[in-house]
């Protein structure tokens, strides 16, 4: 996009005199950059210091209230303009418990009252900031909270979960349904006697819980009681640095949601599970009326060629991470969550909208806090953006980023078929021609001499420099659950065969190199009753149906066994691309829908001398030649036993339909 050059502040003034509140794009380049780390509220018992960045403002003020919504201001305090576009005011008394909002005047007009973007506590529905004592938001034992040990990123097994989904089922046995505290309750059971909630997660063996957006978002009215029919995933951000109030037991008091979020994190940490937050810095829930836009109109967003808001998010706008103060906000926000809330990772929604420089700075700054903090995201956009592809944090540029991972849609759609064509089959349901896409997923999107890159479904070249930069998965919150997808794409198959396909998909994810990612409930054959986009569907659609754990206990046991297998055998999670190239070799097979490979030489310190992994996506048995010697079967389509289910020799084997097998030699 052609950008106007701005040479003087006089020209900026002329631009600001136009009728629109949003200046011509080039004006943003001349806005001063504030490098301090004290924007927003700095509180102490003796004083509160408020700082707001708004270069175009002619005046600015802060209004104080007794409540989070309604009522008249207790007082209004003018802000004084200082250097670098920063306005400030100091209140020399203890105003803990009061609520506040900022307001700026631009071109003679006062814009709406809003919390500043850096607000860390808010009242109900996030319309006003709240003055809280941070120390009083810490639960018992918080100072002793520690991140569970993580040696390598490839050790990670992610479980993607919406806060409400874990507990909202009447059969969950959890008292605090739909709340952060629901994730702290232990000893919960379904009526069938199966462990639910956090105990279920511990028993399953996942290392990380990825929480769908749990910051303050727009679409739920926090002033109303919990309603199982009113639901949202939360991809409509409002206040980025504040937990969502509808997940708290009291949304009126800004300190409560903070404390209960921390209680949740500590409960998971105490059980050895790390916590990842799904963050949506790529767009805001509203555009013109957003906190960003009411304080610095236009600056935080990209504009299209006509000067309007660009929309690569398909949600009405896209943020401009390449602009200094937007980048600063993103970096400082994730650092705040990592330090104040002890978070262990961040999943960036539509990461491809952000520029690589921002993502690299995010990664570097978080690793200074703790090198084990994990950063990953969606390496694509939802629409066109004025940011050039060579600057975008998209999948093909992953190898240029520093310890930032991306989702592999190559492996996902190789496993089950094209995500936007639900009737299409994939490898696990019998569609031939996806073998190279599967092999590409097996080697975690890295360079490997036995992968034919011309035959991969989407990528024609390796995009991950190292295996920890690839997230392998078969399903997530978006689109159909894996079980529903198989019902749509393979309606002719019996339920028994669809369960085989489902287990095969899980085995492919959990035995491939890279980072493994599971959609919550996949181990229960989770269904959303066929609904594809359940972002605002009721709990009845989105909940984890805990009765399915007893009904499909064999599937749960199988997934649990696969996770344990992955944890027990470092050869399945090698730490470098070079190690994968050295130790992992694909068998040359003439059959379609059949992939087999060996991992040799006690790779990555594994106790097994040689490992053989085979995937058969065909509807019938397949017999083929394997390396000689005696092999012990640890995994078949039904069971997992590392001590051995069977043995195979004579250089050949037959693998049942829709089955993964793992064999080894000591």
**pLDDT tens digits for range 288-330:** 999 999 999 999 999 999 999 999 999 999 999 999 999 999 9
Contact 659, 640 (CB under 8 A): no
Domain hosting residue 108, numbered range? 31-137
Place of tokens 């029919």: 229
- Is residue 36 exposed (0-12), middle (13-18) or buried (19+ Cβ within 10 Å)? exposed
pLDDT in tens, 543-571: 999 999 999 999 999 999 999 999 999 99
> Three-state SS for 5?
coil
131 within domain boundaries: yes
Confidence check: pLDDT of 131 > 80: yes
What pLDDT is stored for residue 602 in this prediction?
A: 87
User: Residue 326's closest CA among 212, 213, 240, 406?
Assistant: 240
Confidence check: pLDDT of 232 > 60: yes
The CATH number linked to 654 is 2.60.40.1180
Neighbours of 132 (CB within 10 A): 22
361 within domain boundaries: no
Q: How confident is the model at residue 24 (pLDDT cuts 50, 70, 90)?
A: low
pLDDT in tens, 594-649: 999 999 988 999 999 999 999 999 999 999 999 999 999 999 999 999 999 999 98
442: Cβ contacts below 8 Å, ≥ 6 apart: 508, 512, 513, 584, 586, 595, 597
Query: Which of 108, 137, 166 is the endpoint of a domain?
Result: 137
Confidence check: pLDDT of 12 > 60: no
14 within domain boundaries: no
Query: Which of 137, 152, 168 is the endpoint of a domain?
Result: 137
Query: Which of 137, 168, 184 is the endpoint of a domain?
Result: 137
What pLDDT is stored for residue 101 in this prediction?
A: 98
What pLDDT is stored for residue 17 in this prediction?
A: 33
CA angle 145, 149, 150 (to 5 degrees): 135
Structure tokens at 472: 């392998």
What pLDDT is stored for residue 7 in this prediction?
A: 29
User: Residue 126's closest CA among 41, 217, 250?
Assistant: 217
646 within domain boundaries: yes
Work out the average pLDDT over 465-470. Answer: 98
Q: Which DSSP helix (H) or strand (E) runs through 646?
A: strand 646-648
Contact 27, 6 (CB under 8 A): yes
Contact 360, 402 (CB under 8 A): yes
Structure tokens at 390: 């060579």
Q: Rounded to a whole number, what is the distance in angstroms from the first to the last CA of the chain?
A: 61
What pLDDT is stored for residue 23 in this prediction?
A: 61
- Is residue 424 exposed (0-12), middle (13-18) or buried (19+ Cβ within 10 Å)? middle
Place of tokens 């060996």: 598
Strand pairing report for 584-586 and 594-600: antiparallel
Active site residues: 349, 378
Looking at 176-290, list the stretches that DSSP marks H as alpha helix, in order from N- to C-terminal side: 197-204, 254-270
Q: How confident is the model at residue 22 (pLDDT cuts 50, 70, 90)?
A: low
Q: Which DSSP helix (H) or strand (E) runs through 517?
A: strand 515-519
Contact 401, 470 (CB under 8 A): no
Work out the average pLDDT over 440-451. Answer: 98
528-563 burial, b for 16+ CB within 10 Å, e for fewer? beeeeebbebebeebbbbbbbbeebeebbebbbbbb
How many domains is the chain partitioned into structurally?
Answer: 2
What is the percent of the chain where pLDDT is above 90? 94
What is the percent of the chain where pLDDT is above 70? 96
User: How far is 125 from 638, CA to CA, in rounded Å?
Assistant: 49
Contact 367, 344 (CB under 8 A): no
What pLDDT is stored for residue 25 in this prediction?
A: 65
483 within domain boundaries: no
CA 328, 329, 331, 337: dihedral to nearest 10 degrees? 150
338-363 burial, b for 16+ CB within 10 Å, e for fewer? bebbbbbbbbbbbbbbbbbebbbbbb
pLDDT in tens, 337-382: 999 999 999 999 999 999 999 999 999 999 999 999 999 999 999 9
The CATH number linked to 55 is 2.60.40.10
What pLDDT is stored for residue 19 in this prediction?
A: 34
pLDDT in tens, 652-664: 999 999 999 999 9
User: Residue 408's closest CA among 433, 434, 378, 428?
Assistant: 378
What pLDDT is stored for residue 38 in this prediction?
A: 97
pLDDT in tens, 152-182: 999 999 999 999 999 999 999 999 999 999 9
93 within domain boundaries: yes
User: Residue 153's closest CA among 337, 412, 402, 371?
Assistant: 371
Taking the whole predicted model, whether its pTM rises above 0.85 is answered as: yes
656 within domain boundaries: yes
What pLDDT is stored for residue 26 in this prediction?
A: 74
């Amino acid at each position: 996009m052609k950008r106007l050059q701005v040479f003087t502040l006089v020209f900026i003034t002329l631009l600001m005199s136009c009728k629109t509140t949003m200046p011509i794009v080039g004006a943003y380049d001349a806005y001063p950059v504030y490098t301090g780390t004290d924007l927003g509220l700095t509180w102490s018992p003796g004083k509160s210091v408020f700082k707001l960045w708004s270069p175009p403002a002619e005046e600015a003020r802060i209004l104080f209230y007794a409540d989070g919504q309604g009522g008249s201001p207790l007082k209004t305090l003018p802000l004084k303009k200082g250097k670098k576009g920063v306005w400030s005011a100091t209140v020399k008394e203890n105003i803990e418990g009061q609520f506040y909002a900022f307001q700026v005047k631009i071109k003679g007009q006062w814009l709406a009252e809003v919390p500043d973007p850096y607000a860390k506590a808010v009242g109900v529905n996030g319309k006003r900031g709240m003055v809280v004592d941070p120390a009083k938001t810490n639960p018992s034992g918080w100072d002793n909270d520690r991140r569970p040990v993580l040696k390598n990123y490839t050790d990670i097994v992610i479980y993607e979960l919406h806060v409400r989904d874990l507990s909202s089922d009447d059969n969950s046995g959890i008292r605090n349904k739909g709340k952060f505290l629901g994730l702290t309750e232990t000893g919960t059971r379904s009526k069938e006697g199966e462990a639910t909630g956090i105990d279920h997660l511990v028993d399953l063996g996942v290392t990380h819980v990825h929480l769908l957006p749990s910051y303050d978002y727009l679409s739920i009215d926090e002033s109303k009681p919990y309603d199982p029919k009113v639901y949202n995933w939360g991809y409509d951000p409002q206040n980025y640095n504040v937990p969502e109030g509808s997940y708290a037991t009291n949304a009126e008091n800004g300190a409560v949601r903070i404390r209960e979020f921390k209680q949740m994190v500590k409960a998971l940490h105490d059980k050895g599970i790390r916590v990842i937050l799904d963050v949506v810095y790529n767009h805001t829930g509203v555009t013109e009326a957003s906190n960003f836009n009411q304080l610095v109109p236009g600056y935080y967003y990209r504009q299209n060629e006509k000067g309007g808001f660009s929309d690569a998010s398909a949600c009405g706008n896209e943020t401009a991470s390449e602009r200094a103060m937007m980048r600063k906000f993103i970096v400082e926000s994730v650092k705040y969550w990592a330090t104040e809330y002890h978070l262990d990772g961040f999943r960036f929604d539509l990461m491809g909208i952000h520029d690589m420089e921002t993502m690299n700075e995010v990664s570097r700054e978080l690793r200074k806090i703790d090198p084990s903090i994990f950063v990953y995201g969606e390496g694509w956009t939802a629409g066109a953006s004025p940011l050039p592809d060579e600057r975008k944090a998209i999948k093909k540029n992953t190898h240029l980023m520093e310890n930032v991972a991306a989702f592999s849609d190559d492996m996902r759609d190789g496993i089950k078929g094209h995500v936007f064509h639900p009737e299409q089959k994939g490898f696990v349901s019998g569609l031939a021609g996806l073998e190279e896409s599967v092999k590409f997923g097996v080697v975690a999107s890295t360079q490997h001499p036995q992968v034919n890159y011309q035959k991969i479904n989407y990528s024609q070249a390796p995009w991950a420099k190292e295996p920890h930069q690839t997230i392998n998965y078969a399903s997530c919150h978006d689109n159909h659950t894996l079980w529903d997808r198989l019902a749509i794409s393979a309606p002719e198959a019996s339920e028994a065969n669809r369960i085989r396909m489902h287990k095969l998909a899980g085995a492919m994810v959990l035995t491939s190199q890279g980072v493994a990612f599971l959609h919550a409930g996949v181990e229960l054959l989770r269904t959303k009753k066929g609904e594809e986009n359940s972002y605002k569907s009721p709990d009845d659609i989105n909940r984890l149906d805990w009765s399915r754990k007893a009904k499909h206990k064999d599937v749960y046991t199988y997934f649990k066994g696969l996770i344990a297998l992955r944890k027990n055998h470092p050869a399945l999670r090698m730490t470098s691309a070079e190690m994968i190239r050295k130790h992992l070799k694909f068998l040359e097979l003439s059959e379609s829908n059949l992939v087999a490979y060996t991992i040799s030489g006690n790779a990555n310190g594994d106790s097994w001398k040689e490992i053989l992994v085979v995937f058969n996506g065909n509807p019938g048995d397949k017999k083929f030649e394997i390396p000689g010697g005696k092999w012990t079967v640890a995994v078949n389509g039904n069971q997992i036993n590392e001590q051995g289910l069977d043995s195979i020799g004579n250089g050949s084997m037959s693998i049942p339909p829709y089955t993964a097998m793992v064999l080894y030699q000591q």
